[in-house]
Amino acid sequence: MLPRIDDGSKSVDMSLEMLTGSMAQGVRSVIFTPHFYADMDSPETFLRRRAESLKRLEDGIRANSLEDQIPEYILGAEVHYFRGMSRSQALEDLTIGGSSYILIEMPFRNWQPQMVDEIMEISRVLGLNVIIAHIERYLDQDRKLVKRLIEDPDILIQSNAEFFIEHRTTRKALKMLTKGQIDLLGSDSHNMTGRAPNLGEAVEIIKAGKAESQLGRIYANGVRIFSSATSEVGDY
């Protein structure tokens, strides 16, 4: 949702529309998670670009007098897997709001056991709490490796709202949710066309699918992550 930092929002105006649209769906808190690729950016460069993008957004909020129509927010990153990341102190600068939580995007190439080992080492070596982004995109990977991540009690599993919204995957999404295999729900919103804010729609599908009791657990996980932030919360 941050403007002009990656493949998401292309302008401040688009970002504002995405945020006000989220607010209209009942969203009151947002974590901005632009992509970080270690082979393309240094942490220092990424953090500078993220700060510049946030300033553009905040200037737009004030210029359009939208202070009361924007959710509170904190900064994070979606960190793409890279070899050796469990020993990289740079990860501590990429956590959600300065907390111990970090969002990791697994590779889309075929997983190897050492990749999952690396993820599990992040908690032991760095003391960080791993969140695996959009688990539904990896369900065609080696089942044993996916299962290791899903069943690890120290790892949180996040799903995009689209997993519930798409008719061909709704049943699978609800099944995983009711089995406790999904801990967090995200919009993965990138724009206002093909990837618009959609958490409200997903929540209604979950309620209709008789999995409403699971929403309390997801909400509690989100609150815990958000409240653990040590950096300043943007609140208009």
pLDDT digits (tens, 9 = 90+) for 112-124: 999 999 999 999 9
| pLDDT classification of 194: cutoffs 50, 70, 90 | confident
DSSP SS3 for 32: strand
Looking at 122-166, list the stretches that DSSP marks H as alpha helix, in order from N- to C-terminal side. 143-151, 162-165
Whether 199 shows a pLDDT value over 80: the answer reads yes
Residue with tokens 């998670």: 33
The domain locations on the chain are 12-227
Nearest to 36 by CA among 124, 112, 133, 138: 133
pTM value is: 0.95
- Domain at 12-227: CATH code: 3.20.20.140
The rounded distance, in Å, linking the Cα atoms of 114 and 116 is 5
